[in-house]
Homo-oligomer: A and B are copies of this chain.
Amino acid sequence: MNARWLPSFVAGTRIQASVDADAIAHNLAVIRAHAGAASPAPRIWATAKADAYGHGLSLAMPGLGQADGIAVQQLPEAHACRAAGWQGPILVYGGLLAEEDIAQLDLADLHLVISHEAQLDWLASCPPRPDAPAVWLRYDGDIRLAGFSDEAYARAYARCTALAAQHRIGAIGHLSHYARAEDEDGVAEADARFRQVIAGLPGLVSTCNSAALLRHPGHVCATDWVRPGIALYGVSPLAGIDGPALGLRPAMTLTARLFAVQTLPAGASIGYRAAFVASRDMRVGLVSCGYGDGYPRHAGTGTPVLAGGRRTRLLGRVTMDVMIIDLDGIDHAAPGMPVVLWGTPDLPVETVAASAGTIAAELLTGLTARVPFTARD
């Protein structure tokens, strides 16, 4: 393990997440190189919803400076982007959740994804203004997690045209999201249906999440704005290959402290309900991280961790506050030693997610308020 990947550990800290804005900037450049194969190259909405996929918006923002826009889920996040210093366009995927939300539209260069008719009713009640928000009509497509159907899309577009003429909204764009972008046959049919629905309707087009960008570069050339998310944080959106193998760098490293070393005689058990039983005399370490920090309880014996620069493994069952690791072969292990839980090229978060039967995004967004976050030195 390269020392580059061992963030300094603040004295007294039981656990910490360090966020590497340079890694995010690097990943954004990698994505732009992929998208840049198209001509003209699409612009990039860098998706930073869920507090920048759990990295913390203010810690991630220095890495997103070269994005063309930032995309978030809710209007309060858009305001948080401005507070964090972002001056460019902001796209809100799930804003206008209720009529009251129109009070939060007082941001310049705001773009709203519109998914159902009531949102247009609410916008119709807004006073006209010269810098009214742009809207992106969402096609429900093959994922159907909100959006307009084939039948409803043209009518919604006509309503938008009227609202734009009244200066209650600005530009009108077209947006779709793929259900199966990581599959070889996952985009072509869905894209063809989308193009058919928007045919003849003026406006910029936005498609392609991280998976579509990396898996289907041919479709990128027909879109004006792409919307990468997870790849910005160094995580592969594709099955069977991790972020580092795609040239991405992990943006978050989770590290906890080894706080005790125990010897277990052969046959001795450790943990609730004898979660692990030593098959031989063993040295094990107790690490100050548990599911109360957001580490997944589904990760069981064998999940890799890095202790003292060596790859070793979890033992037994993660508790609220403590996990047990195997110290076999790590003779220099001693209380105070940092233990890396995820987020290096040798131990990408995808590996831990696979052990826990889930995806990396759940782990990254799932750390709790008990974990202090720091910018990597």
**Which residues of A approach B to under 8 Å, CB–CB?**
11-12, 14, 49-51, 54, 73-74, 93-94, 97-98, 100-101, 115-116, 118, 140, 142-146, 179-180, 183, 257, 259-260, 262, 264, 268-274, 286, 288, 291-292, 294, 297-298, 319-322, 324, 335-336, 357-359, 361-362, 365-370
Contact = CB atoms under 8 A, between A and B. Distances in A.
26 contacts: A12-B97, A12-B98, A14-B74, A14-B94, A14-B97, A49-B292, A50-B368, A94-B288, A94-B322, A98-B257, A118-B335, A144-B264, A145-B271, A146-B259, A146-B260, A146-B286, A179-B272, A179-B273, A180-B272, A180-B274, A291-B361, A291-B365, A292-B361, A294-B366, A320-B365, A365-B368
A55 B142 CA distance: 38
A248 to B, nearest CB: 19
Contacts of A11: 98, 100
Contacts of A51: 368-370
Contacts of A294: 366
A179 B274 contact: yes
A162 B118 CA distance: 73
Contacts of A298: 298, 357-358
Given A50-B320, A100-B11, A260 B115 contact: yes
A93 B288 CA distance: 12
Contacts of A12: 97-98, 100-101
A97 B257 contact: yes
B270 A144 contact: yes
Contact of A260 (B116, B270, B288, B365): B116
B320 A269 contact: no
A251 to B, nearest CB: 17
A362 B297 contact: yes
B324 A145 contact: yes
Given A94-B288, A335-B118, A272 B366 contact: no
Report copies per complex: 2
A73 to B, nearest CB: 5
Contacts of A262: 140, 144, 146
A11 B36 CA distance: 43
A269 B94 CA distance: 21
Nearest to A101: B12
Given A98-B257, A146-B260, 20 more contacts: A14-B97, A50-B321, A50-B370, A51-B369, A54-B368, A94-B259, A94-B321, A94-B322, A118-B335, A142-B269, A143-B270, A143-B272, A144-B262, A144-B270, A144-B271, A145-B322, A179-B273, A294-B366, A297-B358, A366-B366
Contacts of A272: 143, 179-180
A123 to B, nearest CB: 15
A110 to B, nearest CB: 17
Contact of A271 (B116, B179, B357): B179
Contacts of A274: 142, 179-180
A308 to B, nearest CB: 17
- Of all A-B residue pairs in the complex, the 7 with the closest CB atoms, nearest first, are A50-B292, A12-B100, A144-B270, A292-B365, A291-B362, A11-B100, A297-B362
Contacts of A180: 272-274
A361 to B, nearest CB: 6
Given A116-B260, A143-B270, A144-B268, A361 B94 contact: no
Q: Which of A260, A294, A335 has the most CB of B within 10 A?
A: A260
Nearest to A181: B272
A105 to B, nearest CB: 13
